[in-house]
Copies of this chain bind each other. A is one copy, B any other.
């Protein structure tokens, strides 16, 4: 079971590019250098570059637009894969699945949160409070807040699932709020603060039910 120390040029390059993407050196939406430029840069043929890019395009991390350039689509393989899978399902099923995840993560967060998690969560909540004016910023910071709760659950599997799912759902959420408006601000804020308190108190069941209420607002 010895593993090869040598990596093919293609894989080396694919890895380096993936690192640039995951580390946000090339954020989502970035137009990356042309194949020829990359070929010069890495001192290989354009063909080799193509194979590397192809492998990332195949899994949905990159998107090539003929006559234009190559763009970053997602920040990781798992996220890209979930995107594809979720797009095949009905929207209501995705939302249902996400509701269950959110509830369970709140439960686990109350159980497993550390003092450090609490500080991060409180901070994320402050940020969210300061950005209630702009809808787009609100959705963004609210997402960040809930993501921190998910992280405090300390379960990497559920966390990855949640992360992939929410980034997919964001667009739906934003357009929904834009249409319907955001009128439950006080109730929402109250529930959020109760949720934080429940997590502080490590009251798992209360956290779970509060999370459920927040979602169905």
A50-87 residues with Cβ-Cβ distance < 8 A to B are 51, 54-55, 58-59, 77-78, 81, 85-86
Q: Is the interface on chain A under 10, 10 to 19, 20 to 34, or 35 or more residues?
A: 20 to 34
A184 interface hit (Cβ, 8 Å): no
Q: Are B156 and A89 neighbours in the complex by a CB distance under 8 Å?
A: yes
Bound-state Cα–Cα, A58 to B100, Å = 31
A140 interface hit (Cβ, 8 Å): no
Residue from B51, B88, B96, B155 in contact with A155 in the complex, judged by beta carbons closer than 8 Å: B96
Which residues from chain B contact A90 at a C-beta distance below 8 Å? Answer: 156
Specify the chain B residue showing the minimal Cβ separation from A165.
B157
Bound-state Cα–Cα, A68 to B158, Å = 38
Specify the chain B residue showing the minimal Cβ separation from A58.
B55
Q: Are B59 and A93 neighbours in the complex by a CB distance under 8 Å?
A: no
The copy count of this chain in the complex is 2
Which residues from chain B contact A104 at a C-beta distance below 8 Å? Answer: 100, 104
Q: Are A85 and B78 neighbours in the complex by a CB distance under 8 Å?
A: yes
A120 interface hit (Cβ, 8 Å): no
Min C-beta distance of A13 to chain B, whole Å: 13
Q: Which residues of A contact B (CB under 8 A)?
A: 51, 54-55, 58-59, 77-78, 81, 85-86, 88-90, 93-94, 96-97, 100-101, 104, 108, 155-158, 160-161
For the A-B complex with A89-B156, A89-B157 known, give 12 more contacts whose Cβ atoms are closer than 8 Å.
Answer: A51-B54, A54-B58, A55-B55, A58-B59, A78-B85, A89-B160, A90-B156, A93-B157, A100-B101, A100-B104, A100-B158, A104-B104
